[in-house]
């Protein structure tokens, strides 16, 4: 009883990210083998970018703990950020209200300079969103649809709504139109952005990565008070060229991300096409039809390539997309067993050419090629065909369930996929929503998925940086990701048991002569508050993997 009390006390106090595993029943001396894991270090070798382990929101303590590689400043609320007065507009997320920009985790006022200062202290690379709608917030109190000015409006009952701020929807359900953008905003042009980049160079030495605004296809919804017209192909390109030129004129070595698409529909059609085609029964797509029957993303890449060919300058460095599964698992709690199983299956949309999406994307009415998302291979194909050399970014994604072991397993699977498939940048969308527990994200099981790759031992231990070939004979139950660690030659394996039962596996290892034991770390639903150090375990014969677990095997060269 005394020993148990000590263990419980240590876990409660959170004295270490890594605790000894608890005593377990003796293993079966002759266990059967369920699955074969094959690792070949001479195959599929590719460097893993550290930027795939990025976050949109992180406390300074958690960023230090993870040695966080990248943090993004983005979202709807920053499309109108004014660096001169630290004002921004909350867009349709909250009554088109201007506010003093704040840190969503702490609620305290925070300027871009202060946000960048934290990243400097934690040695984290910054990805900063640059407004390119032509407006920034003029103050920290105005709202887009004043009730006094535009009349009575529908109210969603939010008790925090300022009395005069309306939703922009009349009581009869019709949208208010013809309002003045200057109610909330100041008109700007690329010169304003040049001045900001100059300021950033002077005060912060510049920023490595800049994003060309946020989800421009949705401006006519999220930023309707200043941009009511649905975005077209041509406007997207014109604004991208103008603002990217401005940035690179002041900071030529800056890397630019575009066009920061909101999701699946936006890869194919402009918002103008989506809105207008709905009116004509989807028989005509104005932008697509008038641009040589090219889909928006392909056309955009080609135009950026043409600019470089003519001008000799690259303006687009990263193709930046957002992706949220459309089956209902994203930005939600873990849910019941059916939802949890769907979450784990739907991660396959990132890579699997045989996985038919279990949402409207996979409906019979969709083109056959679209029914299977295979997002990362598809992104590689788009770039190779239309603008070779462009890197790939997924700066918003979320599969939900991060308060539960189910979401942690899905998140670990995602991070493994990112490395194996050659993604260059990724950032989990973990806005500090209290209903999801994201206001204390670092305590959630989903955060431990990041720790397994970035700090499994509490002392900065990391997964490898050179991905190598790794396959499972039953990917649906047990997935495996392998990478060599260049710092010490260790072969690191992440093995994820998605089943609600213990499994055993045989390890077939090629191209690497390992010692006969692996150092093992594990995160599982046995203990959701720490990663356990299991110690040295044999890698011959049947290797056990507990149910609902993420296991890291460290194999030293023999």
Q: Strand, coil or helix: what is 397?
A: strand
User: Is the pLDDT reported for residue 125 higher than 70?
Assistant: yes
User: Is the pLDDT reported for residue 1 higher than 90?
Assistant: no
pLDDT of residue 5: 33
pLDDT of residue 205: 86
User: Is the pLDDT reported for residue 46 higher than 50?
Assistant: yes
pLDDT by residue (tens digit) across 164-220?
999 999 999 999 999 999 999 999 999 999 999 999 999 988 899 999 999 999 999
Closest by CA position to 135, among listed 283, 261, 239, 21: 239
pLDDT by residue (tens digit) across 347-401?
999 999 999 999 999 999 899 999 999 999 999 999 999 999 999 999 999 999 9
Closest by CA position to 409, among listed 471, 331, 493, 499: 499
pLDDT of residue 28: 55
pLDDT grade for 156, boundaries at 50, 70 and 90: confident
Average pLDDT value over all residues in the chain: 94
pLDDT grade for 83, boundaries at 50, 70 and 90: very high
Give φ, ψ of 45 to 5 degrees. Answer: -75, 125
211 CB-contact burial (10 Å; exposed 0-12 / middle 13-18 / buried 19+): buried
pLDDT of residue 558: 87
pLDDT by residue (tens digit) across 279-311?
999 999 999 999 999 999 999 999 999 999 999
Distance CA 377, CA 352 (A): 9
pLDDT grade for 32, boundaries at 50, 70 and 90: confident
pLDDT by residue (tens digit) across 404-439?
999 999 999 999 999 999 999 999 999 999 999 999
8 Å CB contact between 128 and 210: yes
Angle of CA points 364, 366, 368, to nearest 5°: 80
User: Is the pLDDT reported for residue 57 higher than 90?
Assistant: yes
| % pLDDT > 70, the chain | 94
Distance CA 239, CA 221 (A): 18
Distance set, CA 486 to CA 39, 175, 449, 450 (Å): 17, 58, 22, 20
Average pLDDT over residues 306-333: 98
Distance CA 211, CA 112 (A): 14
Distance CA 389, CA 314 (A): 10
pLDDT of residue 9: 33
pLDDT by residue (tens digit) across 492-525?
999 999 999 999 999 999 999 999 999 999 999 9
CATH superfamily entry for domain 56-80+112-126+191-332+377-461? Glycosidases (3.20.20.80)
Closest by CA position to 18, among listed 28, 10, 26: 10
pLDDT by residue (tens digit) across 464-477?
999 999 999 999 99
CA atoms within 13 A on the CB side of 118: 21
pLDDT grade for 25, boundaries at 50, 70 and 90: low
DSSP state of 206: -
Average pLDDT over residues 530-545: 96
pLDDT of residue 223: 98
Stretch(es) of the chain classified as CATH 2.60.40.1180: 33-48+463-558
Give φ, ψ of 169 to 5 degrees. Answer: -120, 120
**What residue has token string 């300058």?**
313
Distance CA 267, CA 217 (A): 10
User: Is the pLDDT reported for residue 29 higher than 60?
Assistant: no
> Regarding the domain delimited by 33-48+463-558, which CATH topology (the fold level of the hierarchy) does it fall under?
Immunoglobulin-like (2.60.40)
DSSP state of 475: T
User: Is the pLDDT reported for residue 551 higher than 90?
Assistant: yes
Distance CA 123, CA 65 (A): 11
Widest Cα–Cα separation across the chain: 79
Alpha-helical runs (H) found in 41-189: 60-66, 112-121, 147-150
pLDDT of residue 206: 86
Stretch(es) of the chain classified as CATH 3.20.20.80: 56-80+112-126+191-332+377-461
User: Is the pLDDT reported for residue 13 higher than 50?
Assistant: no
State the CB neighbour count (10 A cutoff) for residue 381: 11
pLDDT grade for 453, boundaries at 50, 70 and 90: very high
CA 332, 334, 338, 341 torsion: positive or negative? positive
**What residue has token string 């979450």?**
343
* Bridge-based pairing state of the strands 491-497 and 478-484: antiparallel
pLDDT of residue 24: 52
DSSP state of 208: S
- Both tokens of residue 406? 């189910």
């Amino acid at each position: 009883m005394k020993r148990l009390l000590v263990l419980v006390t240590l876990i409660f106090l959170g004295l270490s990210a890594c605790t000894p595993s608890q005593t377990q029943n003796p293993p079966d001396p002759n266990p059967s083998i369920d699955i074969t894991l094959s690792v070949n270090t001479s195959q599929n070798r590719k460097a893993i970018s550290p930027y795939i382990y990025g976050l949109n929101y992180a406390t300074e303590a958690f960023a230090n703990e993870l040695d966080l590689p990248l943090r993004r400043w983005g979202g709807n609320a920053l499309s109108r950020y004014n660096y001169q007065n630290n004002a921004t507009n909350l867009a349709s997320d909250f009554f088109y209200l201007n506010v003093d920009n704040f840190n969503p985790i702490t609620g305290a006022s925070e300027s871009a300079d202060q946000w960048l200062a934290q990243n400097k202290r934690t040695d984290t690379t910054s990805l900063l969103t640059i407004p390119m709608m032509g407006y920034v917030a003029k103050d920290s109190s105005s709202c887009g649809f004043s009730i006094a000015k535009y009349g009575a409006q529908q109210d969603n009952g939010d008790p925090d709504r300022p009395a005069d701020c309306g939703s922009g929807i009349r009581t009869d359900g019709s949208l208010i139109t013809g309002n003045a953008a200057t109610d909330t905003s100041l008109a700007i042009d690329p010169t304003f952005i040049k001045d900001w980049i100059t300021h950033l160079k002077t005060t912060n030495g510049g920023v490595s990565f800049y994003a060309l605004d946020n989800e421009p296809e949705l401006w006519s919804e999220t930023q309707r008070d200043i941009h009511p017209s649905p975005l077209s192909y041509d406007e997207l390109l014109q604004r991208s060229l103008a603002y990217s030129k401005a940035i690179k004129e002041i900071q030529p070595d800056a890397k630019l991300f575009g066009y920061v698409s909101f999701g699946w529909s936006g890869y194919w059609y402009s918002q103008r096409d989506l809105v207008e085609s709905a009116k004509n029964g989807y028989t005509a797509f104005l932008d697509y039809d008038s641009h040589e029957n090219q889909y928006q993303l392909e056309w955009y890449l080609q135009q950026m390539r043409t600019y470089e060919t003519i001008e000799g300058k690259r303006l687009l460095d990263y193709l930046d997309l957002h992706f949220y599964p459309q089956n209902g698992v994203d930005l939600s709690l873990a849910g019941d067993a059916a939802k949890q199983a769907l979450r784990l299956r739907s991660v396959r949309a990132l890579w699997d050419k045989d996985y038919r999406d279990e949402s409207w994307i996979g409906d019979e009415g969709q083109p056959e090629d679209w029914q299977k998302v295979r997002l990362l291979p598809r992104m590689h194909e788009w770039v190779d065909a239309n603008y070779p050399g462009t890197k790939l970014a997924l700066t918003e994604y979320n599969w939900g369930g991060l308060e539960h072991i189910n979401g942690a397993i899905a998140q670990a699977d995602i991070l493994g996929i990112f490395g194996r498939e050659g993604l260059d940048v990724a950032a989990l969308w973990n806005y500090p929503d209290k209903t999801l527990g994201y206001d204390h994200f670092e305590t959630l099981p989903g955060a431990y998925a990041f720790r397994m790759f970035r700090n499994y031992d509490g002392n900065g231990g990391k997964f490898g940086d050179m991905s190598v070939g790794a396959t499972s004979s039953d990917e649906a139950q047990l997935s495996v990701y392998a990478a060599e660690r260049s710092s010490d030659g260790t072969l690191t394996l992440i093995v994820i048991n998605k089943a609600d039962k213990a499994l055993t596996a045989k390890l077939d290892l090629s191209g690497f002569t390992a010692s006969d034991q692996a150092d093992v770390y594990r995160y599982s639903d046995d203990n959701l508050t720490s990663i356990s150090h299991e110690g040295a375990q044999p890698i011959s014969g049947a290797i056990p993997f507990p149910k609902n677990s993420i296991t890291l095997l460290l194999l030293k060269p023999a």
